[in-house]
């Protein structure tokens, strides 16, 4: 539903105060002006630079009614009121003035008065920053980012010459790359691509998109080249994700995959898997740092999480990685007494989105200690499955050694160290140190202390918890700790001959 359609419904229902959250004020104003012409409503707009503007005068040009005083702008709408028509005043970037008690009081009074004389206040702002006095008076409307059809129309408007606009699969890649950008950003990305390549290419769009996401600080775009052939083992998890993501019929939101919660000791490939999955399935991988969503101002955290989830939905199909979620959400239980419930509200918004989203976004959450997460996070329908990534077995380790020996240009025929308790990260560390220090693998391994030794108790506790509760990332099916064996406890072992007892 378009912004104009939603606003028309609210105004027809006599919602006298509306907050439109939008980064594209010109496009929003254009839609509002078109709506007013269709409904024969009077329109005025105000901003600090141009003052009060009243379009639709005799010469067809906007007229500056003067005044940069925000209080005067609010009061001016009553002069536009008439018995047979509605009057709408659009206030651009008005959140900057809501620290003034006089302006807050004037808005509250006008919202009540607007019910009587059919005058309507519309605040255009990129953020939602309503004072508590106005929360019950304003209805919030979001200006959606452009969909694929709108992106296509923008690209067609930029690439007007023959050969500038790709066709078929290449055009789909451009539309996928531009998803999640504003209309202004899509136009700039297409223009930059024309300057560089003389046609609209997805690579230039991705480059600009990566910069846009970095500016927001809410999401990061991973553009690595890792594929599943660079990640040893995890055959059960790989097969499950590929089958669920590549199956046809995902046009129905109820049939779309949701994602996976990955649990393991550190260094077993959780983050690497999420990065490889995006490249393997041809989807962008977005990294959601939940900790960075926390803001210092009242309401900024809630606004950040909503904005991040909006971008994720707009960029679908995509892969979303939320790394180390138990650390980012560690304060949920005590949130009410430590941060006025901010973390709890962020967690609640994220949980609701995980369960109810209809976008084709595949979420990978990683965790090292599931005991720190509330039980509602891992219940059914948040994820397609909870997978346990155990320490790699012999076959997995052999494939991991081959990958990293080739990556670091080491002699594959040399003797390997005892790797019984090595994770994939520790095998990589051993190979990197061997290349860095120009040492044999057995000597480089003397500088690697496995996490299975330094944190033996916690790793064994994690295995026991996962047994019967999680899926086996290597073999598939239910994970059983007994089948995988138990960790060897550090310390001296004494052998006894039963015949001597």
pLDDT tens for 312-346 read 887 778 899 988 888 777 666 565 555 666 777 88
Does residue 325 sit in the same domain as residue 366? yes
Cα(213)–Cα(208) distance, rounded to whole angstroms?
A: 9
Higher-pLDDT residue of 176 and 102 is 102
- Give the range of the structural domain holding residue 424, as residue numbers without chain letter: 394-448
Ramachandran region of residue 124, left (φ > 0), alpha (ψ -120 to 50) or beta? beta
Same domain? 88 vs 161: no
Q: Which two tokens stand for residue 288?
A: 């959601």
Which residue from 477, 429, 484 is spatially nearest to 460, judged by alpha carbons?
484
In a domain, 345, yes or no: yes
Q: Domain with 49 in it: what CATH number?
A: 3.40.50.300
How far apart (Å, rounded) are the C-alpha atoms in residues 222 and 205?
A: 14
- The rounded distance, in Å, linking the Cα atoms of 386 and 366 is 10
- Asked whether residue 475 is domain-assigned, the answer is no
Q: What is the pLDDT of residue 311?
A: 81
Looking at the fold, whether 180 and 286 belong to one and the same domain comes out as: no
Tokens of 247: 């199956």
Specify the pTM: 0.69
- Judge if 256 and 317 occupy the same domain: yes
* R_g over Cα of the chain: 29
In a domain, 35, yes or no: yes
Asked if residue 376 and residue 254 are part of one domain, the reply reads yes
pLDDT per residue as tens digits for the range 360-373: 889 999 988 887 77
CA atoms within 13 A on the CB side of 220: 13
Position 222 in a domain: no
The H helix count followed by the E strand count for the chain is 20, 14
Phi-psi sector, 168: left (phi>0), alpha (psi -120 to 50), beta: left
Strand (E) or helix (H) holding 175: helix 168-178
User: Within 13 Å of residue 278, how many CA atoms lie on the same side as its CB?
Assistant: 25
What is the overall mean pLDDT for the chain?
83
- Contacts for 373 with CB less than 8 Å, ≥ 6 apart: 325, 326, 329, 367
Residues 418 and 384 in one domain: no
Same domain assignment for residues 251 and 384:
yes
Q: Within this chain, do residues 380 and 414 fall inside the same structural domain, yes or no? A: no
Domain boundary among 98, 119, 142: 142
Q: Residue 265: inside a domain, yes or no?
A: yes
* Residue 483 resides in a domain: no
Asked if 294 and 185 sit in the same domain, the reply is: no
> Are both 201 and 297 inside the same structural domain?
no
**Do both 159 and 130 map to the same domain?**
no
| Strands 87-92 and 63-64, bridge-based pairing | unpaired
- How many folded domains does the chain comprise? 4
Mean pLDDT comparison of 177-181, 364-368, 478-482, highest-scoring range:
364-368
Q: Are residues 46 and 175 in the same domain?
A: no
């Amino acid at each position: 539903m378009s912004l104009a359609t939603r606003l028309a419904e609210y105004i027809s229902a006599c919602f006298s105060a509306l907050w439109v959250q939008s980064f594209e004020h010109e496009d929003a104003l254009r839609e509002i002006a078109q709506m007013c012409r269709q409904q024969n409503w009077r329109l005025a707009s105000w901003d600090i630079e141009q003052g009060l503007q009243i379009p639709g005068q005799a010469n067809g040009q906007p007229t500056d009614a003067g005044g940069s005083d925000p209080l005067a702008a609010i009061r001016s709408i009553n002069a536009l009121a008439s018995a047979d028509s509605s009057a709408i005043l659009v206030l651009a970037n008005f959140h900057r003035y809501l620290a003034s008690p006089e302006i807050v009081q004037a808005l509250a009074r006008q919202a009540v008065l607007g019910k009587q004389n059919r005058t309507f206040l519309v605040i255009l702002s990129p953020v939602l920053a309503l004072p508590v006095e106005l929360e019950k008076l304003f209805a919030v409307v979001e200006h959606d980012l452009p969909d694929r059809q709108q992106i296509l129309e923008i690209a067609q408007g930029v690439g007007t010459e023959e050969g500038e606009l790709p066709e078929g699969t290449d055009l789909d890649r451009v539309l996928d790359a531009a998803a999640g950008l504003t209309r202004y950003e899509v136009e700039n990305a297409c223009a930059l691509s024309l300057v560089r390549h003389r046609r609209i290419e997805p690579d230039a769009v991705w480059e600009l998109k990566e910069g846009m996401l970095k500016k927001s600080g809410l999401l990061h775009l991973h553009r690595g080249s890792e594929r599943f052939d660079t990640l040893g083992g995890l055959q059960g998890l790989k097969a499950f994700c590929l089958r669920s993501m590549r199956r046809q019929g995902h046009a129905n939101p109820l049939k779309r995959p949701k994602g996976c919660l990955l649990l393991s000791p550190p260094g077993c490939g959780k983050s690497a898997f999420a990065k490889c999955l995006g490249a393997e399935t041809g989807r962008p991988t977005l990294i959601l740092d939940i900790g960075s969503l926390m803001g210092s101002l009242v309401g900024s955290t809630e606004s950040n999480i909503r904005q991040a989830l909006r971008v994720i939905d707009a960029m679908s199909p995509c892969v979303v990685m939320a790394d180390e979620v138990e650390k980012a959400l560690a304060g949920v239980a005590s949130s009410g007494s430590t941060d006025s419930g901010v973390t709890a509200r962020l967690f609640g918004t994220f949980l609701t989105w995980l369960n109810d989203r209809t976008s084709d976004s595949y979420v990978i959450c990683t965790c090292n200690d599931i005991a720190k997460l509330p039980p509602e996070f891992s219940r059914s329908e948040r994820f397609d499955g909870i997978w346990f990534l155990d320490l790699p077995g012999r076959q997995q380790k052999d494939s991991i050694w081959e990958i990293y020996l080739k990556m670091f240009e080491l002699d594959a025929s040399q003797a390997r160290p005892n790797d019984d308790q090595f994770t994939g990260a520790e095998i990589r560390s051993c190979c990197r140190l061997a290349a860095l220090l120009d040492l044999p693998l057995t000597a480089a391994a003397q500088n690697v202390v496995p996490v299975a030794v330094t944190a033996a108790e916690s790793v064994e506790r994690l295995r026991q918890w996962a047994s019967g509760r999680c899926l086996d990332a290597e073999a598939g099916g239910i994970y059983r700790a007994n089948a995988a064996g138990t960790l060897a406890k550090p310390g001296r072992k004494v052998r006894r001959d039963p015949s001597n007892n």
